[in-house]
Amino acid sequence: MSDNDKLEAIRERIDSLDQQIQQLINARAAAAQEVADIKLAADPDAQFYRPEREAEVLRRVKARNTGPLDGEEVARLFREIMSACLALEQPLKIAFLGPEGTFTQAAALKHFGHSVKTTSLGSIPDVFREVESGICQYGVVPVENSTEGVISHTLDTFLSSPLMICGEVSLRINHNLLSHEAGLDAIKAVYSHQQSLAQCRSWLDHHLPRAERVAVGSNAEAAKMASDASGCAAVAGETAAEVYALPVLASNIEDEPGNTTRFLVIGNKDAAASGEDKTSLLFSIRNVAGGLHTILSPFAEHGISMTRIESRPSRRGRWDYVFFVDINGHRNDQSIAEALAELEKKASLFKVLGSYPRAVL
Amino acid sequence: MSDNDKLEAIRERIDSLDQQIQQLINARAAAAQEVADIKLAADPDAQFYRPEREAEVLRRVKARNTGPLDGEEVARLFREIMSACLALEQPLKIAFLGPEGTFTQAAALKHFGHSVKTTSLGSIPDVFREVESGICQYGVVPVENSTEGVISHTLDTFLSSPLMICGEVSLRINHNLLSHEAGLDAIKAVYSHQQSLAQCRSWLDHHLPRAERVAVGSNAEAAKMASDASGCAAVAGETAAEVYALPVLASNIEDEPGNTTRFLVIGNKDAAASGEDKTSLLFSIRNVAGGLHTILSPFAEHGISMTRIESRPSRRGRWDYVFFVDINGHRNDQSIAEALAELEKKASLFKVLGSYPRAVL
């Protein structure tokens, strides 16, 4: 067989595969419609988006994948297939911390797929309000926003919002060194948000050991300052480079090549158990010094691992601190339910922010 | 059967469909690898991206689609499946007119799917250079850029570049009225790029009949001006609203709800015939008045329809004009080949910029 004949035969095979794939995707959408019909008959306000079910599907796709496509890549395709099927039943509106083209929008599309409608909002509290009012069903916010120019601590907003966490998204984020200077020798000062400076510390230690590091409010502000003065550079993303017309002197300078930023998906309720879940909660105690160890003891006793703990000054009283804690597991797991009940008794303020599937993609 | 039993049965059906879909998608990727192996054995520099073949696949997907998913939506899923399969054979790098998050990046991802690597560049000539140098295999540029702040006529760049057009992308673009003023009554002047003002003329006639319209260099510049002065508004996109912290007084004010902007895909060669193609060319004549009618006569004689003609002053001589023409059909079609040969004899400058599939999505 000539090469051309061989190629023609393979192309015919691909065309036949495509027909089957298309048929099956439409069969899947029809099945999803049947689910919607049954749910709507029982409850006219039924919600069709089920984060735990989607996480299970994506995990299974990755687990059973044999290639040649990478499991991550196939999961991404299924994310889009589920997104299209869901849009047929119930078009989702997702609020995100704008503007368009930011990492948070990328996180929203990564989590929900491209068949949703995204709405850009100017602040984290605005995203919460848009979801609370029902204009959008879900919102996506960075846990702490440093790279996109608005300094706002998302966790604080949960103190006054009834919304819950129903998902998390991880996104890889790259930093660049931006400057009008022609070379590193001329750089006397480096501006950036504190967190970005920390994420690039080794690179800065090695390449710019004598340059002063100045922490400023946001990476965009840093880029603006670096564009106005000589001998200066900023650590910032590509968008800031373009907005302030600053050349990229060095790219991907973050110490951890897998430098990821975490975003939360917020909605009116959290997710059912998916098998691999996290639970976020906040609590407050009066006497921090000895109290913290005591209040956390139920986790140790029940063998529950904390993946993150952070303290924030409360705005309520002078000596009040609020702690934000993430643990592995779902709040309906028996051991976690017991530990949370014990912790609640000891805390002056206690709130479960939600249980949700660990990020799959 | 209870609702829960019914739902469980449907979910099992969906899981089984998902397994089959996954298997078929991987079989498709394996077949694409076979194609790559055969091509590589014959030519180590073989290119695997074939725009005409992708356009054919997408057209067929739309034509045979029976639902319930919309044909456009299924085609979008196949765009992603093909993107993933191609990335396995040959990871594509696509240069686009930046910054990140602009319409041009959206156009690039719409055309190539999300499995490519996109590189943001600061100007249209930079995009051409990035592709000419081989750093990126393809580039995406707006045909005329008005909304994204750089005024540059892409077509002019073809005069001095060996690159060809191998695809087109259409993107729906929305305009908003941005202002610090609380209501329309206070608006005395509206700034925007001339093209955006024209696209919103009816809306402006109706809602702001007395406001002066001022054409400025770009929509971003318009937003900046409106943010600095009172009694002013700008017509611009959502990004500009966020960057300049300008509230949106009215959204989607374009006269044609399907207001689309066209982008070109550029590469080292154009595309083979796909069955529904366009051809772009440029030519120059000395005496425009009578000459234009004469030079275009071969198209009429061969029954070829022009979809666009535009004249641009040439930078080469005082009385030289360059005409950019799009026609329906492929340059290898016999009637078009004949017409082009006749036209070439009459022109002082003549260049076929490329034949490529009409935009499918």
ipTM at complex level: 0.72
pLDDT at B215 over 90: no
Give me the DSSP letters along B235-276: EE-HHHHHHTT--EEEE---SSTT-EEEEEEEESS-----SS
Q: What is the pLDDT of residue B280?
A: 96
- Residue B149 above 50 pLDDT? no
Beta partners for residue B354, in sequence order: B280
Asked if residue B110 and residue B66 are part of one domain, the reply reads: no
**Tokens encoding A207:** 């390449």
Task: Give B241's pLDDT tier (boundaries 50, 70, 90).
Answer: confident
What residues have CB less than 8 Å from A354, skipping those under 6 apart? Answer: A164, A165, A166, A269, A270, A271, A279, A280
Question: End of a domain among A267, A291, A313?
Answer: A267
Of the ranges A328-332, A340-344, B287-291, which one carries the lowest mean pLDDT score? B287-291
Angle (CA) A68 A69 A72, round 5°: 140
Average per-residue pLDDT in chain A?
A: 87
Residue A36 and residue A56 in one domain: yes
**Number of alpha carbons in the 13 Å side-chain half-sphere of residue A324:** 18
Domain boundary residue among A267, A292, A320? A267
pLDDT of residue A148: 46
* Residue A50 within a domain: yes
Q: Residues B114, B158: one domain?
A: yes
Residue A186 burial (C-beta neighbours within 10 Å; 0-12, 13-18, 19+)? middle
Q: Do B249 and B233 form a contact (C-beta atoms < 8 A)?
A: yes
B286 in contact with chain A, both atoms CB, cutoff 8 A:
no
Residues B4, B7, B11: CA angle, nearest 5 degrees = 135
Q: Give the C-alpha separation, A299 to B224, whole Å.
A: 53
d(CA A176, CA B307): 44
Residue A67 within any structural domain of the chain: yes
* B134 and B106 fall within a common domain: yes
Asked if residue A272 is part of any domain, the answer here is no
Do B342 and B283 have their domain in common?
yes
Q: Please give the backbone phi and psi of residue B339, each rounded to the nearest 5 degrees, phi first.
A: -60, -40
pLDDT for the residue numbered A53: 92
With CA atoms as reference, the chain A residue closest to B28 would be: A14
Domain boundary among B267, B294, B321: B267
Whole-number Å distance between alpha carbons of B340 and B350: 9
A189 touches chain B (CB under 8 A): no
**3-class DSSP state for residue B180?**
coil
Q: Return the CATH number at A241.
A: 3.40.190.10
For A316, other C-beta atoms within 10 Å of its C-beta total 12
Residues 337-356 of chain B whose Cβ lies under 8 A from any Cβ of chain A: none
- Within this chain, do residues A83 and A124 fall inside the same structural domain, yes or no? no
CA angle in degrees (0–180, nearest 5) for A50-B21-A109:
45
| Active site residue ranges of B | 261, 263
Same domain for B79 and B101? no
> What pLDDT shows up at residue B273?
94
User: Can you tell me the distance from the alpha carbon of A80 to that of A89, in angstroms, rounded to the nearest whole number?
Assistant: 15
Which residues of chain A lie closer than 8 angstroms to B20, CB-CB?
20, 24
Q: How confident is the model at residue A199 (pLDDT cuts 50, 70, 90)?
A: confident
- Which of B68, B78, B115 comes nearest A29 by C-beta? B68
**Domain shared by B326 and B347, yes or no:** yes
Query: How many structural domains does chain B have?
Result: 4
Residue A357 has pLDDT above 90, yes or no: yes
Q: Is B252 left (phi over 0), alpha (psi -120 to 50) or beta?
A: left
Separation CA A354–CA B159 (nearest Å) = 59
Instruction: With respect to residue B272, please indicate whether it lies within any of the assigned structural domains.
Output: no
pLDDT in tens, A9-64: 999 999 999 999 999 999 999 999 999 999 999 998 888 899 999 999 999 999 99
Are B107 and B43 members of one domain? no
pLDDT at B218 over 60: yes
Please give the residue that has the higher pLDDT: either A99 or B215. Answer: B215
Whether residue B24 and residue A11 make contact (CB cut-off 8 A), yes or no, is no
Are residues A244 and A295 both part of a single domain?
no
Shared domain check, B107 and B149: yes
Give the pLDDT mean for B333-361.
93
pLDDT digits (tens, 9 = 90+) for B156-185: 889 889 999 999 998 877 789 999 998 899
Mean pLDDT of A85-100: 86
Cα distance between residue B163 and residue B126, in whole Å? 13
What per-residue confidence (pLDDT) applies to A306?
87
> What's the longest Cα–Cα distance across chain B?
83
- Assign residue B18 the CATH number of its domain: 1.20.59.10
pLDDT in tens, A240-284: 776 677 888 888 888 776 667 789 999 999 999 999 999 999 998
Is residue B353 pLDDT above 80, yes or no? yes
Average per-residue pLDDT for chain B? 87
pLDDT tens sequence across B89-142: 888 999 998 766 667 888 899 999 989 988 888 788 899 999 999 989 999 998
Residues 49-78 of A with CB under 8 A from B: 53, 57, 60-61, 64-69, 73-74, 76-78
Residues of chain A neighbouring B6 (CB-CB closer than 8 A)? 38
Decide if A25 is inside a domain. Answer: yes
Does any domain span residue B245? yes
Q: Which helix (H) or strand (E) holds B88?
A: helix B71-89
Domain identity same for A34 and A77: yes
Residue range(s) defining the domain that contains residue A155: 92-173+260-267
Estimate to the nearest angstrom the gap between the alpha carbon of A91 and the chain centroid: 21
Distance CA B8, CA B21 (A): 20
Looking at residue A68, its pLDDT comes to 94
pLDDT at A296: 85
Residue of A169 and A90 predicted with greater confidence: A169
Do B94 and B166 contact (CB within 8 A), yes or no?
no
* Domain assignment of residue A97, yes or no: yes
